[in-house]
Amino acid sequence: MGSEPGGDVVIRARAPLRVSFCGGGTDLLPYVREHGGLVLSATIARHAYASLRVLEEQTLRVRSLDFDTVASFGLDEPLIYDGKLDLVKACLRRLRMGSRVAACGLELYLETDAPPGSGLGSSSALVVAVIGAFTTWQHVDRDRYEIAGLAYDLERKDVGIAGGLQDQYSATFGGLNLIEFRDEHDVVVNPLRIDPYLLHELEYNSLLAFTGATRMSNRIIESQVVEFETGNPQVLAALHRMKELARHAKDALLRGRVVEFGEILHDDWMQKRRTSRAITNDHIDHLYSEARRLGAIGGKVSGAGGGGFMFIVCPFDRKPEVIRRLDELGATVAPVRFEPDGLQTWSGPAMTQRHAVEVA
């Protein structure tokens, strides 16, 4: 795209969030390097957005709607990681380096369709969206694998946020994928060709329940890595089984067996719980057991665990009762809509920026 994001023009990018069905945890680097990881995941119609616009003044301005924050930096000001907008600072450090962008004042506006701590990979999707906006503006030739790899490096290496490999690739490629992890930058994304009516059927017989924000993902992931590296046989067996279940779940979806798919998710959730004590809590367990008691087939918490969204497969005729009960228990329930597309960029008028309300 050849548009320049100056004056009344803004470049926008969006990347989808994801639900991880099976294999989550086998994408952690220590496991990948010894055994190879495998994850089945799908992106959903919730997105992270980045809007990029050139400013006349020599400043870098970041507006985060999710955190109700506006931060400004000088062009030559060192962007120090201090726990505030660190991922954005990492993006600005890398993407402005050695390019014409370094001499330009910029405004970066950020927003996601999920609350912080959702477990839907929103942080990674936001980084992918920011990279997409800069890539389009700079006319840089980056393929999707390069974008996902750069997003991984920014999040995991530059900022040091613990996590696996799957989120960046899901957000960049989009759709329903079986993703193979062979090494840090040796990843193969296998898109699944599933008849649209089967995806519609899965959407109709599933739901998302927000169990509450998780702020424990780093701790959970770090504990999983420690347990694996110290040779905990229970954790290793669970990870092996989860990788196997990713293949079974893929087969069930390709054959249109939604009930079997739900049962596999239940098995994966039982295995995932064995990898860390912090994966679940009494509130999550109660929500899940009540959903199953009222007819849900199976499900699991998306992401590292400890909170966030739970994806549940539930027969359509049982959904009203399940939704009512989960609502009584304090969960927020939403329908599932899958998103076939990954990272997208476009340009448009900057009127949303022009009329943006300054946050004190």
Kindly give, in sequence order, each residue whose CB lies less than 8 Å from that of residue 45, ignoring residues fewer than 6 positions away.
Answer: 16, 337, 338, 339
Report how far residue 251's alpha carbon sits from residue 257's, in angstroms, rounded to the nearest whole number: 9
Query: Active site residue: 27, 86, 167, 267, which one?
Result: 167
3-state SS, the chain, equals: CCCCCCCCEEEEEEEEEEEEEECCCCCCHHHHHHHCEEEEEEEEEEEEEEEEEEECCCEEEEEECCCCEEEEEECCCCCCCCCCCHHHHHHHHHHHCCCHHHHCEEEEEEEECCCCCCCCCHHHHHHHHHHHHHHHHHCCCCCHHHHHHHHHHHHHHHCCCCCCCHHHHHHHHCCEEEEEEEECCEEEEEECCCCHHHHHHHHHCEEEEECCCCCCHHHHHHHHHHHHHCCCHHHHHHHHHHHHHHHHHHHHHHCCCHHHHHHHHHHHHHHHHCCCHHHCCHHHHHHHHHHHHCCCCEEEECCCCCCCEEEEECCCCCHHHHHHHHHHCCCEEECCCECCCCCEEEEEECHHHHCCCCCC
167 flagged as catalytic? yes
- Active site residues per annotation: 167
